[in-house]
């Protein structure tokens, strides 16, 4: 589908969806978070090829990805050597002590476990690499491994305005002035209670379950109540307060107390997953012009997976195409990539010593 079918999308529209643009205004209704400015050297490190972790704040290799100690009789070979004071020097491995210290402090202030993202995207395609196979991070190293391994993070860093319909000429920056690391307090969210909402010309035209691959029977029976809770939240908390007329936002409803939480804003664009809708139908949907309360607007309502047979039957894990080649995965023999990488580095070090 061509981007020209969408309502116009400008750099400003995309910027309005970046976390630090909307968080101050919606702080009361979203998850507690911290915003940390990313130094340019760290952006350069993220843009470099290869998954390797910086030294920790004490200047030592990160415990989850130790650099091999090769035979140091020849100091010119390998990263490890003794420096003039007899201490260890790790050659070209990057080192961001202040940035890491700041991250450690912010993780602590958020309760010790965080969900990371950049200006727009989380590294959700890289969770399989983490030791716990989730985006739950406890240390800077956990965060760096995810950021370095994610195609979504690369997209934020290289072409965040790709779907804009305005022509980006030489005077328009292709990337934002600055990047931010967003740390959000970790919550064990139940996927069945996450919803994606589509707003066109300030009208909530469609809502669907975010986990579009699974059937949750209770969603079918409580669809009407959920839809009205989401519409009320839209009218009370979002309508007229967000910079774009057309956008997509994500919600979480706490199953126990039915409280609604805002999770994220996304552009009304091809790069946002339309889940149980198609972009064709969302674009073609004619926003009613009648006067009256917005909550009565006849949108397409809340769409859920309504039978077990409608759920995703591919058994393909989410974001499977963002992963490594299959032969590398086979070779890893069921380990996470962090374990596999460590094993591989040890094997390489052993073979270097033998030679």
Q: Of 11, 159, 168, 189, which lies in the binding site for ligand ATP, with binding defined by CB under 6 A?
A: 189
Note whether 187 binds ligand ATP by CB under 6 A.
yes
Using alpha carbons, list the distances in angstroms from residue 6 to 10, 206, 281. 11, 16, 11
DSSP 40: H
Note whether 266 binds ligand ATP by CB under 6 A.
yes
Give bridge partners of residue 89 from the DSSP assignment: 81
For residues 295 and 203, give the distance between their C-alpha atoms in angstroms, rounded to a whole number.
9
For residues 126 and 290, give the distance between their C-alpha atoms in angstroms, rounded to a whole number.
45
- The one of Mg ion, ligand ATP, none whose footprint includes residue 210, by CB under 5 to 8 A per kind, is ligand ATP
β-pairing, 81-82 with 88-89?
Answer: antiparallel
Note whether 266 binds Mg ion by CB under 5 A.
yes
Let me know the angle formed at the C-alpha of 47 by 50 and 319, rounded to the nearest 5 degrees. 70
What is the size of the binding site for Mg ion (CB under 5 A)? 2
Note whether 212 binds ligand ATP by CB under 6 A.
no
Q: What is the DSSP string of 104-121?
A: HHHHHHTTS-EEEE-SS-
Note whether 150 binds Mg ion by CB under 5 A.
no
Report, in Å, the least distance between residue 114 CB and ligand ATP. 7
Report, in Å, the least distance between residue 253 CB and ligand ATP. 13
Q: Report the side by side order of strands in the sheet with 194-200.
A: 260-267, 247-253, 194-200, 203-209, 302-303
- The one of Mg ion, ligand ATP, none whose footprint includes residue 186, by CB under 5 to 8 A per kind, is ligand ATP
The three-state secondary structure class of 264 is strand
For residues 311 and 214, give the distance between their C-alpha atoms in angstroms, rounded to a whole number.
5
Note whether 115 binds ligand ATP by CB under 6 A.
yes
Token representation of residue 297: 């607007």
Cβ distance to ligand ATP smaller for residue 6 or 80? 6
The three-state secondary structure class of 352 is helix
Cβ neighbours of residue 58 closer than 8 Å, sequence gap 6 or more: none
Please choose, out of 50-58, 95-103, 183-191, 320-328, the segment that lies near ligand ATP by the rule CB under 6 A. Answer: 183-191
> By CB under 6 A, what part of segment 148-167 binds ligand ATP?
152
Binding mask 8-37 for ligand ATP (x = CB under 6 A): -----------------------x------
Report, in Å, the least distance between residue 87 CB and ligand ATP. 39
Using alpha carbons, list the distances in angstroms from residue 177 to 40, 118, 282. 10, 13, 32
Note whether 121 binds ligand ATP by CB under 6 A.
yes
Q: Of 124, 138, 223, 323, which lies in the binding site for ligand ATP, with binding defined by CB under 6 A?
A: 124
Note whether 125 binds Mg ion by CB under 5 A.
no
Name the residues that contact Mg ion, by CB under 5 A: 264, 266
Using CB under 6 A, list all residues that contact ligand ATP.
31, 115, 117, 121-122, 124, 152, 184-187, 189, 194, 210, 250, 263-264, 266, 273
């Amino acid at each position: 589908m061509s981007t020209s079918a969408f309502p116009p999308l400008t750099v400003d529209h995309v910027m309005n969806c970046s976390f630090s643009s909307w968080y101050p205004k919606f702080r009361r209704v979203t998850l507690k978070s911290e915003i940390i400015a990313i130094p340019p050297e760290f952006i350069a490190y993220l843009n470099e090829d290869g998954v390797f972790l910086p030294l920790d704040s004490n200047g030592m290799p990160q415990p989850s990805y130790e650099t091999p100690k090769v035979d140091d009789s020849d100091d010119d070979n390998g990263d490890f050597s003794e420096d003039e004071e007899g201490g260890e020097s790790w050659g070209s491995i990057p080192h961001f002590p202040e940035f890491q210290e700041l991250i450690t402090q912010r993780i602590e202030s958020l309760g010790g476990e965080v969900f990371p993202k950049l200006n727009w995207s989380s590294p959700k395609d890289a969770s399989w690499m983490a030791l716990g196979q989730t985006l739950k991070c406890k240390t800077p190293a956990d965060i760096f491994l995810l950021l370095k391994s994610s195609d979504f993070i690369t997209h934020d860093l290289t072409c965040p305005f790709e779907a804009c319909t305005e022509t980006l000429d030489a005077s328009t920056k292709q990337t934002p002035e600055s990047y931010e690391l967003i740390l959000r307090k970790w919550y064990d969210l139940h996927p069945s209670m996450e919803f994606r909402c589509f707003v066109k010309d300030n009208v909530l035209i469609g809502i669907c379950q975010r986990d579009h691959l699974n059937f949750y029977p209770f969603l079918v029976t409580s669809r009407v109540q959920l839809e009205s809770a989401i519409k009320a939240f839209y009218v009370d908390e979002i309508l007229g307060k967000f910079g774009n007329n057309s956008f997509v936002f994500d919600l979480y409803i706490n199953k126990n107390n039915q409280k609604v939480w805002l999770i994220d804003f996304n552009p009304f664009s091809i790069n946002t997953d339309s889940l149980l809708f198609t972009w064709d139908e969302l674009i073609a949907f004619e926003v009613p012009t009648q006067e009256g309360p917005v909550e009565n607007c006849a949108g397409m309502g809340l769409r859920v997976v309504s039978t077990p047979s409608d759920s995703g039957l591919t058994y393909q894990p989410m974001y499977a195409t963002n992963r490594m080649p299959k032969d590398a995965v086979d070779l890893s023999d069921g380990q996470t990539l962090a374990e596999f990488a460590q094993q591989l580095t040890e094997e390489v070090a052993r073979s270097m010593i033998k030679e």
